[in-house]
Amino acid sequence: MIYKKRFALLLAVLILLPMLSGCEAAETPAPASTQPLSKSAFLLGTYVDISLFDKLDEKIIDKAFDRIAEIEAKMTINNAETSEIIKLNEASGTGAVKLSPDTYLVVERGKYYSELTEGKFDITVGSIVKLWNIGTDYAAVPEDKVIRDTVKLVDYQKLQLKAADHSAMLQEAGMKVDLGAIAKGYAADEAGRILREEGVKHAIINLGGNVLTVGGNPNGNQWKIGIQDPFNPRGDYLGIVPSQDKTVVTSGTYERYFEQNGKKYHHILNPETGYPVENNLHSVSIVTEKSIDGDGLSTTCLLLGVEEGMKLIEKLDHVEAIFVTGDKKVYVSSGLKDIFLQTSSDFTIVN
């Protein structure tokens, strides 16, 4: 069995710097910083890169990293000593668990997307995630009967939330919440909040597929964010979108997967079947204002498919999307059609 792990890297800083001069000019361009201050850390299962283009103070980046680490400690499913989510899952079927405001907010947002899609996206998919173990050395295809039995434990309607005391309860024993599809977005938003509070006006935060821009680039233009080519392991991109005080979040079936008996099994699991979703979508990129929403919507749209996913995006305010299918067709939502720049001739924009 071959296990491979790749992240949907939206190229934002080092690769795209040569293109920044081509951005649409602002009314009063500001002088560019000679070199950004950049630091990296491995958090939330990915490499986190933060680059400051003004206020070049390492302590500001460290403060953002500390906040991301705090969020990871509360919401991880890998450290029972610190994780509120593990405590919630262990208490399933027995009673409510009080959560911190951070964790409660993310769980609440995850349930919102579960309700929005009537369970196509389901925050209680954790029992299935644990079955497959995709992203670990123990990834393997579970027995079909085990999957069918475990799917019965996936039901967001049996997750009770009480805002008054920030408590949550899983009604049935064995149920598990998993925040893997949404916690990273919240962490990006919090890092951005800290940078802005510290007076940073030009920065890029990249959490392995979640890119958040603080302001525009130092020249007074918008950043250019590359959209990953899901068929190319070398980090090539198929197009670019402008971004200023926005987030661009990509989820793809190529991000984490393993191979068994010549077949690939990716990590986007269908809560209804318990198997990796199969609908010809290879990636979805969301452009919006909050990374937590970009995170939730990118996974949601991958589960919904192109037609239903695009219908959802067009109903939402301040949200745009780019869908990429297995036959290299690209579907762009209405608000991006005039500003999305295709850079690879391997793809065809069809709408």
Interval 152-172: pLDDT, tens: 999 999 999 999 999 999 999
φ, ψ (nearest 5 deg) of residue 109: -70, -35
- Average pLDDT in the chain: 89
Residue 1 has pLDDT above 60, yes or no: no
* DSSP string across 78-116: S-TTT-HHHHHHHTTTT--EE--HHHHHHHHHHHHHHHH
Domain-located, residue 87 = no
Residue 226 has pLDDT above 60, yes or no: yes
3-state SS track over 210-251: EEEEECCCCCCCCEEEEEECCCCCCCCEEEEEEECCCEEEEE
Residues forming beta bridges with residue 122, ordered by sequence position: none
Domain-located, residue 80 = no
Give pLDDT, residue 34: 58
pLDDT in tens, 191-214: 999 999 999 999 999 998 899 999
Distances from the Cα of 117 to the Cα of 160, 274, 305, 321, 326, angstroms: 18, 17, 12, 17, 23
Residue 248 has pLDDT above 60, yes or no: yes
Give pLDDT, residue 208: 87
Encode burial over 68-85: b for 16+ CB neighbours within 10 A, e otherwise. Answer: beebbebbbbeeeeebbb
Strand order in the sheet with 329-332: 37-43, 46-52, 203-207, 210-214, 247-252, 281-288, 320-325, 329-332, 348-349
If you search the block for the tokens 């997750």, which residue do you land on? 159
Mean pLDDT of 239-247: 97
In whole angstroms, what is the distance from residue 161 CA to residue 95 CA? 12
The two structure tokens encoding residue 7:
């992240």
Residue 29 has pLDDT above 60, yes or no: no
Domain-located, residue 135 = no
Domain-located, residue 25 = yes
Residue whose C-alpha is closest to residue 61's, from 161, 203, 168, 232:
203
Domain-located, residue 75 = no
Distance of CA 86 to the CA centre of its chain: 21
Residue 293 has pLDDT above 50, yes or no: yes
Q: Would you place residue 254 in the very low, low, confident or very high pLDDT band (cuts 50, 70, 90)?
A: confident
Number of domains in the chain: 1
* Residue 292 and residue 112 in contact, taking contact as beta carbons nearer than 8 Å: no
Q: Of 30-39, 116-125, 297-306, which gets the smallest average pLDDT?
A: 30-39
Q: Would you place residue 233 in the very low, low, confident or very high pLDDT band (cuts 50, 70, 90)?
A: low
Domain-located, residue 171 = no
Which CATH number do you get for residue 258? 3.10.520.10
The two structure tokens encoding residue 122:
């389901």
pLDDT in tens, 60-108: 999 999 999 999 999 998 888 999 999 999 999 999 999 999 999 999 9
Domain-located, residue 212 = yes
In whole angstroms, what is the distance from residue 302 CA to residue 121 CA? 9
Q: What angle do CA 99, 100, 102 make, to 5 degrees?
A: 120
In whole angstroms, what is the distance from residue 301 CA to residue 239 CA? 19
Instruction: Determine the angle formed by the axes of helices 58-75 and 101-116, rounding to 10 degrees.
Output: 70
Q: Which domain, by its residues, includes 297?
A: 2-56+201-349
Q: What share of the chain is helix, strand, coil (3-state, %, to 5)?
A: 30, 25, 45
The burial class, CB within 10 Å (0-12 / 13-18 / 19+), for 49 is buried
Domain-located, residue 193 = no
Residue 28 has pLDDT above 60, yes or no: no
Give pLDDT, residue 234: 60
In whole angstroms, what is the distance from residue 136 CA to residue 139 CA? 6
